[in-house]
Amino acid sequence: METKYISCIECKGNIEVPDDAMVGELLECPDCGKIYEIKEVKNGKIDYKEAEAISEDWGE
Ligand SMILES: [Zn+2]
């Protein structure tokens, strides 16, 4: 199996995508920590977008 990568928009680094990656899965850039969300997996191609920063501070 060949390893798939997506490239980080922020730092241009390669982010490894697991073989069993599914839509909605979050991937973190090992270099800058930016989070990407998989939008679509089709014919071995990965479509992805920047994920919103996950914040546990919802504030009241
Ligand atoms: Zn990065």
Instruction: Tell me the per-residue pLDDT of 9-43, one tens digit each, with 9 for 90 and over.
Output: 999 999 999 988 899 999 999 999 999 999 999 88
User: Which tokens hold the place of 20?
Assistant: 């069993």
What contacts 19, CB < 8 A, 6 or more positions away? 1, 4
- Cα–ligand 1 centroid distance for 29 (angstroms): 5
Fold type of domain 4-50 = Rubrerythrin, domain 2 (2.20.28)
- Cα–ligand 1 centroid distance for 57 (angstroms): 24
pLDDT at 17: 94
pLDDT at 2: 78
Please state the domain extents for the chain: 4-50
More confidently predicted of 30 and 54: 30
- Cα–ligand 1 centroid distance for 16 (angstroms): 11
- Cα–ligand 1 centroid distance for 59 (angstroms): 28
